[in-house]
Amino acid sequence: MLGALLALGTLPTPAHAAADRDERSWTVREPGRQPAGISAVVDLDAADGTLTLAARRGTATVLEPAPLGIVTKDADLTTGLRFTSTATRQVTEHYTMTTGKQLRRTARMTESRFSFTGAGGARLDLLVRVADDGIAYRYVLPGKGDITVVREASAFRLPGTAQAWLAPYTPYYEGEYKPATAADAGDGSYAYPSLFQVGDTYALITESDIDGRYSGSHLVHEKGSGRYGVELADGAAVTSAGPLTTPWRTVVLGDLATVTESTLVDDLAAPSRIGDTSWIRPGKVAWSWLDGFAAAQRSLSTQQRFVDYSAAHGWEYTLVDDGWKTTKWMPELTEYAHRRGVGVLVWVHWTDLDTAAERAEFLPRLKKWGVAGLKIDFMDSDSQDRFRWYDEILRDTAREKLLVNFHGASVPKGIQRTWPHVLTVEAVRGAEYGNVPASHVTALPFTRGVVSSTDYTPMAFQFGTRTVSDAAELGLSVVFESGLQHFAGSIRAYQDRPELERFLEQVPTVWDESRLLSGRPGENATFARRQDGRWFLGSVSAGSSGTQDVSLDFLGGGRWLAEVIRDGDDGLVRETRTVTRRDTLHVPTAEHGGFAAVVCKATAGRETCDRPVTRLPLSSLTVDPSKAEVDSGASVDIAGRFAVEQSGPASDVTLSLRAPGGWEVKGDAPQADQLPTGKDLSGKWTVSVPQDAREGGHDVVVSAEYSAPGGRVLRVDRTVRVFVSPPGVDYVSNLPFASERNGWGPVERDQANGERDASDGAPLSIHDTTYDKGLGMHADAEVEVELQGGYRKFTASVGVDDEVGDRGSVTFEVLADGVVVATTKVLTGTDAAQALDVDVSGVQKLTLRVKDGGDGVDYDHADWADARLTT
């Protein structure tokens, strides 16, 4: 079993809970009753029967008394309460995670249960747990039948002058953390986790152990007060079958090291619901989204190249993001990746999986293809209904043994303990925003990063405006713990930084131990994390250049080898030195800079901490042209080049070309016994098209086959799409436009509209039929073409492109010299293509127009497929 529970029984009288004589005040202390330890104080007001809770660290009050209680449809359990009984036990739990800041964990907590009776005999139990790193409380409503919760009275009260680091609440948790004081923070809602400093103690407020029995919540605040109330999502009532146990209202308490190293949120969560976790494999991921967006996801060759990069550097996965569903090559990609030892993760919108029927069809299909896991996006809700969906999707993905990465998601609340195949979660303003302030980056390790794996997606050097230095960006691979560490760089950006490539080959994604070495929210953060005898260090700062002094007293005895990667005058540099635990590293840092480092035991003859990495050649196969249009009976010249860029050699290399049956091929079949890094092999062929060749597209395939280390025989294909044109036809996509306008991005030729840039669209596809020729538009749009009376007929098949699914609604119009001569009904993503056949004899100017279907232009991707003019 992944998690084992040892609960040392409930005691009939309070242990570590002291009640005064009239039994209206109780103190619950952390196990061991340390004088400077943490305690929670529960008070029952004798006058009105209201409850409050306060928290102390030693003799200092950190959280001032704040209200407790809950209101249901049937009972107000916030006032008029009478004490009934109390019992205390010691809870000890041992469990193992699949990811996180520390894999093997022991949680020790004192738990006190206080029972109260309200008006009409309604019962409220309050559970309070206190550990050496914080406190938590939850309500238990023991009644049977459905229980509807209207609201909670729960709140936290800080001194008004307490320093705070807060992010505005959104249900996808991508707000920017900014400093304030507890009282001066503006009116409004704030996201978990929220961090406060009271004296020398920090308090991180969040929640834990939530599922579909309840809804999520957030904090609400009125300026001028230190009170932060708990508000349920959407302000909606929560209904569950009794007895009802609410989530833990959780506060991590201590110095910054205690807070950042805390596992309290996981400690409070339900144990793992997965018995066999041997299939759950964390790892590093090549993510191509920020190097081409949707266009990169629709290209098999681009995705194969990212697979090759992972294989060349020992990364475990590659992620194909939004856009792949308009393609048909996913099984081919997963097979290609499998042969290279790389897993494929795929992006899906949560609405693709929001019904049992969709999950029953889609998830087994992905598993059959060989997909390793899912990035599920855009849940954007903390409602009870959404958490019920989380319960369902996690059960179903676990059954299919599919890994999960949630984006557009609620901040994790112990989910990685309960469902250990959740290897990371976004819920952060991360690198895909393109201009993340260094002050926010350095606040995250003390806030969002405390509670779970964080999918920040570092290394996006080619994207946006850089706010931290290269060395600091590299340090984020350690600073941000993530079971799936999605690196967002381009292959060229990695290759331009060889020291970065080398470090990323070595850095793990799971840890035996994590320590904060130094830092302060919004200013700097330096972490050390250990795995299997090596320590990895990461540091990031917001501010001017200087020198970072890092004590090495966390190391064991003896001599150690330290390799530091920092910013140099001409890029990243690596410096190696021998150190002991008595030494301090002095690392020069750039503005908004940092560093990365690896430290291992120094032994005789050891020059590096690097360990062997299994590498396959990073190769490229290019063809010229990538597509061609020819007449029947004509020929086309095709060239292919196979090059080894990194991690060579490739052995027994052969280039070949295959054409459709009946087509003639002239050319050689070049071979090479071995191609080391930096060498290539080229071939040229002439392909002749028969006179009776079918009109339309044909595939001519150039292949490179080679042997790689380990005896694997690998092959890569590149397809040249040869389109055979019929006589007497001109395709509109081949003609110059007299004018054009488009709702999003440019009008695309021979591909669907990708909305953003030129040539970023998918193949034209309507109702599962793919077309080689045509125009891709987005309403409202229009193209004008000069005909000068030279054509007899215009024909096309029109409809909404498949890439928007069943969404989108458009109408098509054809104008001849400004007069509408053909129009369609409103077509949606569910409609088949509609044929247009228009007489254009003598027409001087042809206009093709797309209008929205009367409900706005969202998803209005319109295709003029096979749009042709007949002479």
Positions annotated as catalytic residues are: 377, 432
Q: If you search the block for the tokens 């952060």, which residue do you land on?
A: 428
Integer Cα distance of 769 and 832 in angstroms: 9
**What is residue 501's DSSP assignment?**
H
Task: Read off the tokens for 370.
Answer: 């060989």
Integer Cα distance of 402 and 346 in angstroms: 11
Question: Torsion-angle region of residue 643: left (phi > 0), alpha (psi -120 to 50) or beta?
Answer: beta
Give the number of other Cβ atoms within 10 Å of residue 666's Cβ: 11
Integer Cα distance of 274 and 96 in angstroms: 12
Integer Cα distance of 92 and 252 in angstroms: 18
Pairing of strands 422-425, 484-487: unpaired
Q: Which residues contact 511 (CB under 8 A, 6 or more apart)?
A: 100, 101, 102, 103, 481, 529, 530, 531
CB 82 within 8 A of CB 116: yes
Best CA proximity match to 383, nearest among 231, 486, 278: 231
Q: Cα 148 to chain center, whole Å? A: 34
Pairing of strands 671-675, 627-631: unpaired
Integer Cα distance of 17 and 113 in angstroms: 10
Instruction: Work out the end-to-end distance of the chain between its first and last CA atoms, rounded to an integer number of angstroms.
Output: 74
Q: Which residues contact 7 (CB under 8 A, 6 or more apart)?
A: 89, 91, 92, 93
Best CA proximity match to 444, nearest among 187, 222, 191: 191
Best CA proximity match to 758, nearest among 292, 221, 96: 292
CB 566 within 8 A of CB 572: yes
Integer Cα distance of 722 and 715 in angstroms: 22
Integer Cα distance of 428 and 11 in angstroms: 42
The 3-state DSSP class for residue 312 equals helix
Task: Read off the tokens for 804.
Answer: 């928007």
Sign of the CA dihedral running 568, 574, 578, 584: positive
Please tell me the total number of residues recorded for the chain in this structure: 871
Q: Which residues contact 486 (CB under 8 A, 6 or more apart)?
A: 285, 287, 319, 405, 424, 455, 457
Sign of the CA dihedral running 595, 601, 604, 609: negative
| Secondary structure percentages of the chain, helix, strand, coil, to 5 | 15, 45, 40
> Which residue type, as a one-letter code, is found at position 16?
H
**What is residue 772's DSSP assignment?**
S
Integer Cα distance of 257 and 696 in angstroms: 66
Q: Which residues contact 399 (CB under 8 A, 6 or more apart)?
A: none
State the Cα torsion 372-376-382-385 to the nearest 10°: -80
Strands (E), 689-800: 696-708, 712-725, 729-731, 739-741, 748-749, 764-766, 769-771, 774-778, 781-786, 793-800
Strands across the sheet with 627-631, in order? 627-631, 712-725, 696-708, 650-658, 671-675
Best CA proximity match to 455, nearest among 421, 486, 415, 488: 486
Rounded to the nearest 5 degrees, what angle is found at the Cα of 835, between the Cα atoms of 831 and 840?
145
Q: What is the largest CA-CA distance in the chain?
A: 104
